[in-house]
Amino acid sequence: MEIFRKADRLKQLPPYLFKEIDRKKAEVRARGVDIIDLGVGDPDLPTPPHIIEAGQRAMADPAHHRYPSYSGMNGFKVAAARWYKRRFNVELDETTEVVSLIGSKEGIAHFPLAFVNPGDVALVPTPAYPVYHIGTLFAGGESYSMPLLGENRFLPDLNAIPESVADRARVMFINYPNNPTAAVADRTFFEEVIGFARQHGVIVCHDAAYTEMAFDGYRPLSFLEVDGAKEVGVEFHSLSKTYNMTGWRIGFAVGNAEGIEALGAVKSNIDSGVFEAVQMAGIEALTGDQSCVREMVQIYTRRRDLLMEGLRDCGFEVNPPKATFYLWIKVPEGYTSAGLTARLLEDAGLVVTPGNGFGEPGEGYFRIALTQTRERLTEAITRLKGMTF
Ligand SMILES: *Cc1c(COP(=O)(O)O)cnc(C)c1O
């Protein structure tokens, strides 16, 4: 008798995106190859010192050692609400329209448990961050894939969603600036989404993890800036990328009070909130000196420009991203995403992510994350220039 027989929801999981890449990487590394990892979207830069110090001070204070409030410390929620006001001119009531998260991934994964019944549909972009689909799956829902295609500037075509699907949909996930395509959305698109949500009774979940990582003076919008958004949606925000805090696990969700309350109800039964010392560090991040964000953007701008130039010299087709630390690049003629990825690893020791790993419409692309120093990126370009495709 098989005791550890897995539940269907685990059997239905797509293969972990980086599993096969990790296996190949270990194999190539064992041969003594110096590997340059341009795969995972995890900042290589450290958390700024003033944020670390705030966390250290709080950690030493026994007042912060007990169970936190599951919805977040009042001070953290006020800091998040004020940051939204300052950055996006969006008014939020910190008592009903903000909830702290153990990273935004946690909130995104739990959200469908609050609103998706078995058999309900969630509208999920593809290619995408896998959590939208997996959160839906764990709630017993079905994902309906909205392809993000170059010809539509990587925005979903809402008119292509059949009425019957739209009417069964409970939730729509969107993410701009986008991982993995680096696409951005304008106000018109968000207005279209709000119209669709109203017409079909769909909750919009906007993943806004990259709003602060934008280049050349471009300032990405919050979904909540657009008229009517708060009636239909919530927005997930993360401190991970903005302040190089991926390991700290802190983010928050804001927006519609019923949406925030229901997510809070799920969370209060599953986790017990974010360690208060981490929230204190988060308060410092959101309210302290923001020059660290400008410096981070400058570093990624230089890396982007360096890599763009090198890739173009090698004949790759790539547009300069306005935001995110990703480049979404067409594979050369005659290659599949997996084929190119394997060749770059085998022949140049370069790890990149195959576009189809984010879903079938990502086939024909690969993703590079700008999470290496200029020296390493220069070395990567040198290796690429030594190859013919
Ligand atoms: C990195 C990332 C996040 C942030 O996740 P956290 O759990 O807050 O660290 C969210 N969404 C996307 C699309 C991301 O790439």
**pLDDT surpasses 90 at 98:** yes
Task: Please report which residue ranges of the chain form alpha helices under DSSP H.
Answer: 8-11, 19-30, 49-59, 74-88, 104-115, 131-138, 163-168, 187-200, 229-232, 257-268, 276-287, 291-313, 337-348, 374-385
Label residues 232-258 b or e (16+ Cβ within 10 Å = b): bbbbbbbbbbbbbbbebbbbbbbbbee
Task: Give, in order, the Cα–Cα distances in Å from 320 to each of 215, 300, 323.
Answer: 10, 12, 9
Q: What is the CATH number of domain 49-287?
A: 3.40.640.10
Q: What atom of ligand 1 comes closest to residue 178's alpha carbon?
A: 13
Atom of ligand 1 nearest to the CA of 241: 1
pLDDT of residue 15: 77
With the most atoms of ligand 1 within 8 angstroms of its CB, the residue from 241, 271, 325, 328 to mutate is: 241
According to the model, what pLDDT value does residue 124 have? 98
* Per-domain boundaries in the chain: 8-46+291-385, 49-287
* Cβ-contact 327, 370 below 8 angstroms: yes
Confidence of residue 14 (pLDDT cuts 50, 70, 90): confident
CA-closest residue to ligand 1 atom 2 = 209
346-389: pLDDT as tens digits: 999 999 999 999 999 999 999 999 999 999 999 999 999 999 98
Q: How far is the CA of 209 from the centre of ligand 1 (A)?
A: 6
C-beta of 365 in contact with ligand 1 (< 6 A)? no
Q: Which atom of ligand 1 is nearest to the CA of 102?
A: 7
Topology annotation, domain 8-46+291-385: Aspartate Aminotransferase, domain 1 (3.90.1150)
Q: Which atom of ligand 1 is nearest to the CA of 105?
A: 7
Predicted pLDDT of residue 194: 98
Q: Which of 129, 213, 242, 328 to mutate to test the pocket of ligand 1 (most atoms within 8 A of CB)?
A: 129
- Does residue 156 carry a pLDDT above 80? yes
| Pair of tokens at residue 256 | 């519609």
Report how far residue 377's alpha carbon sits from residue 325's, in angstroms, rounded to the nearest whole number: 13
| Any ligand 1 atom below 6 A from CB of 240 | yes
Distance, CA 248 to ligand 1 centroid (Å)?
A: 12
C-beta 178 within 6 A of ligand 1: no
What is the arithmetic mean of pLDDT over 254-264?
A: 98
Q: Which two tokens stand for residue 325?
A: 């630390």
Q: Do residues 300 and 213 make contact, with C-beta atoms less than 8 angstroms apart?
A: yes
- 246: its two tokens: 């991926």
pLDDT at 74: 97
What does 46-73 look like in DSSP terms, one character per residue?
Answer: PPPHHHHHHHHHHHT-GGGSSPPPTT--
What is the per-residue pLDDT across 316-348, written as a single tens digit (0 to 9) for each?
989 999 999 999 999 999 999 999 999 999 999
| 249 Cα: distance to centroid of ligand 1 (angstroms) | 10
pLDDT in tens, 18-75: 788 888 899 999 999 999 999 989 999 999 999 999 999 999 999 999 999 989 999 9
The yes-or-no verdict on residue 192 having pLDDT over 90 is yes
Q: What is the pLDDT of residues 103-112, one digit of tens each?
A: 999 999 999 9
- CA 240 to ligand 1: nearest atom: 9
Q: How far apart are alpha carbons 300 and 293 in whole angstroms? A: 11
Pocket lining: 366 vs ligand 1, CB cutoff 6 Å: no
Query: Which residue carries 């190089």 as its tokens?
Result: 244
Q: Which residues contact 284 (CB under 8 A, 6 or more apart)?
A: 50, 51, 53, 54, 55
Q: Which pair of structure tokens corresponds to residue 98?
A: 């903000």
Mutate to test the pocket of ligand 1, among 184, 207, 245, 271 (most ligand atoms within 8 A of CB): 207
| Residue from 42, 15, 172 nearest 103 by CA | 42
Provide the pLDDT for residue 217: 96
User: How deeply is 118 buried, as exposed, middle or buried, from its count of CB atoms within 10 A (0-12, 13-18, 19+)?
Assistant: exposed
Contacts of 264 (CB under 8 A, 6+ apart): 70, 71, 99
> What pLDDT was estimated at residue 19?
81
Residue pair 356/26 in contact (Cβ under 8 Å)? The answer is no
Of 111, 174, 179, 326, best ligand 1 pocket probe by most atoms within 8 Å of the beta carbon? 179
What is the tens place of the pLDDT at every residue in 202-224? 999 999 999 999 999 999 999 99
d(CA 351, CA 203): 37
Torsion of CA 289, 295, 297, 300, to 10 degrees: -150
Per CATH, 8-46+291-385 and 49-287 having the same topology is answered: no
Best probe residue, ligand 1, of 44, 101, 105, 371 (max atoms within 8 Å of C-beta):
105
pTM above 0.85? yes
Q: Is the CB of 179 under 6 A from ligand 1?
A: yes
Q: From the CB of 103, is ligand 1 less than 6 Å away?
A: yes
First CA to last CA across the chain, in angstroms?
Answer: 52
Confidence of residue 198 (pLDDT cuts 50, 70, 90): very high
Residues paired with residue 126 on neighbouring β-strands, in sequence order: 147
Contacts of 276 (CB under 8 A, 6+ apart): 58, 63, 64, 65, 66, 68, 73
State whether the beta carbon of 251 lies less than 6 angstroms from ligand 1: yes
